[in-house]
Amino acid sequence: MATSPSQTAMPTERSQSSRVLDKAFVWLTGAFAIGVGFVLLAIAFRVGTDALPAIQKFGLSFLTTSRWSVNDEVFGALTQIYGTLVTSFIALLIAVPIGIGVALFLSEDYLPPRIKQPVVFLIELLAAIPSVVYGLWGIFVLIPLLKPFGIWLNTNFGWIPLFSTAPSGPGIYVAGIILSIMILPIIAAISRDSLVAVPAEIRQAAYGLGATRWETIFQVILPAAFSGIVGGIMLALGRAMGETMAVTMVIGNSNSISPSILSQGSTVSSLLANQFAEAGGLQVSSLMYAALILFGLTLVVNVLAEIIVRRFSLKL
């Protein structure tokens, strides 16, 4: 600390109390900062302990059986885990190519900046619309809109197991599509950031060697931005797996596994949304077990995403 004349002239008592205050303040903020990490631990711990009775009773068979009977107190979440994975997969299948396409569109110079900025903003807005609003829109607009398409798929391609059931309105494919809409802005935004971060010099070098725009994109820009894009996709996957309301409202919430994406199903999060409020006893514990699985799944995906994104941002 600098010792200016005015400071040495100050009463020492005051500077001492202010030093204590200073220390205390740093400690206080430190406690809260560490508290943020503690919250994460608390979630894992509390959900884990509440799941313990179900873990002890069902063990790993919880993951491999699909019977969910409140009356018999037998619970297995295979249907829901399957539903979570399948809907997320459909969502990625649609959102990844379109999202990267959007990102390329917005990172190249197709649009003048005055138009580009609002478009970027609009696409980010997609991420801000509450999920329950997507669900409402899904029920009254998307489901009726997709039904003829589902029927067409079933009548013409019903021999493929994927389309082997007649669509009844809600279903896994509707959930997948609505999820794809919801994660698209994440993929687009993060991919665009990583594409824009590729140094302009590299692009010029490729053009200077006589590469066309798309040769430059595919052979230089996309490889350089690759890890950032993958990180963004992982984040989006985590979001898709945890997304609750919109999925709950359009998936049909039936406890059955079918290879057909036109059939109804449920996900871990829709199970929690439907049953928690009225649950008791071992059912609560089983729901906590399901929540723990979802927590674990998204944790792995998010940590991977975080590591990939970090590695990437350090490199450029």
Per CB under 8 A, contacts with another protein among 148-207 are: 181, 184-185, 188, 199, 201-202, 204-207
Give alpha helix (H) positions in 59-77.
61-64
- Are residues 293 and 58 in contact, defined by beta-carbon separation less than 8 angstroms? no
Q: At what angle do helices 113-128 and 172-197 cross, to 10 degrees?
A: 140
Residue owning tokens 């890890």 = 227
Closest to 293 in 3D by CA, of 2, 72, 80, 103: 80
Q: Is 17 in the site for another protein (CB under 8 A)?
A: no
Find the binding residues for another protein in span 289-308 (CB under 8 A).
Answer: 291, 294-295, 298-299, 301-303, 305-306
Q: Which stretch binds another protein (CB under 8 A): 23-31, 52-60, 70-78, 151-159?
A: 23-31
Out of 131, 165, 263, 266, name the contact with another protein by CB under 8 A: 131
Out of 70, 74, 126, 282, name the contact with another protein by CB under 8 A: 126
Determine the Cα–Cα distance for residues 194 and 231; give it in Å rounded to an integer.
Answer: 10
- Beta bridge partners, 68, equal 75
Q: How many CA atoms lie within 13 A of 218 on its CB side?
A: 4
Q: Is 125 in the site for another protein (CB under 8 A)?
A: yes
Binding mask 248-277 for another protein (x = CB under 8 A): -x-------------------x--xx--xx
Tokens of 233: 């996709």
**DSSP class of 170:** S
- Are residues 302 and 235 in contact, defined by beta-carbon separation less than 8 angstroms? yes
Q: Least distance from C-beta 50 to another protein, angstroms? A: 5
Binding mask 39-78 for another protein (x = CB under 8 A): xx-xx--xx--x----------------------------
> Please, which residue, 261 or 301, has the CB nearer to another protein?
301
Number of residues that bind another protein (CB under 8 A): 111
> Please, which residue, 84 or 165, has the CB nearer to another protein?
84
Q: Identity (one letter) of the amino acid at 247?
A: V
Out of 81, 86, 92, 102, name the contact with another protein by CB under 8 A: 102
